[in-house]
Amino acid sequence: MLDHLRRIVVEGPVGSGKSALAQRLAQYLHAGELPDGARHNPFLERFYREPQRYALPMQLACLNQRATQLAQWHAALLASQRMVTNFLYARDRLYASLTLEEDELALYDALVARMQLPAQRVDLVIMLQATPSLLRERIARRGLAGEANIDEHYLQRLTEAYGELFHRYDDAPVLIVDTARFNPVDNDGDFRTLLSRIENMRGRKAFLNLAAP
């Protein structure tokens, strides 16, 4: 199943379940997994406590991680290895624009241009959606200390920015999945439904929403 898909990205805001789904997909497809490494960012927890103070070092540390990860992604594909990841490089600019001041964002953009990172070639993006309140509930439930200070206002801005990004994104087909009543990580039936929807997907954009009439 899904033999035509060699490069799969699972995306979504913090709390959407993208990391767990990427891991399950990688295991099911016998693919390599490339985590985004966010939890290894030394500034992330401090950013959640003091966003204005630590936004720039947090974003620069993430950019440094991406340089390594994109090189690994490219090397794996050259070796014909199937890959699944939980980050789309295009989303990094989204986070930068939400968190950085104007002069900091200009510096960030200049560094990105100078680094000339390799393109992230992708066959499919699975975009996980959830409301800000549901994201907040999930974040609270998993109880990671560094995420305790994430507020719903930030999640509102984040979900809106994700919506805008994938409204215009056209570099790969996108399956947008509403996770309000759909849990492909813990529910085997939902996981099979997801696989079937991917297998039968046609066109550049598709939706999976079990709550829809």
Per-residue pLDDT of the chain (213 residues; tens, 9 = 90+): 788 899 999 999 999 999 999 999 999 999 999 999 888 899 999 999 999 999 999 999 999 999 999 999 999 989 999 999 999 999 999 999 999 999 999 999 999 999 999 989 999 999 999 999 999 999 999 877 778 789 899 999 999 999 999 999 999 999 999 999 999 999 999 999 999 999 999 999 999 998 655
Radius of gyration of the chain (CA): 17
Give the per-residue pLDDT at 212.
56
136 Cβ contact partners less than 8 Å away, ≥ 6 residues apart:
15, 150, 151, 152, 155
- Residue the block writes with tokens 């959640």: 48
Look-up of token digits 């510096």: 107
Domain membership flag for residue 156: yes
Token pair of 135, please?
């994201």
In a domain, 2, yes or no: no
| Cβ-contact 92, 45 below 8 angstroms | no
- Is beta strand 174-178 parallel, antiparallel or unpaired with respect to 124-129? parallel
Give the total number of structural domains in the chain: 1
Q: Both tokens of residue 21? A: 């789904």
Residue 198: CB partners within 8 Å, gap ≥ 6? Answer: 2, 5, 124, 126, 175
CATH (domain of 166) = 3.40.50.300
Q: Is residue 213 in a domain?
A: no
Residue 144's pLDDT is 78
List the domain range (segments joined by +) for residue 199.
7-208
CA 98 to chain centroid? 15
The answer to whether residue 39 sits within a structural domain is yes
1: in domain: no
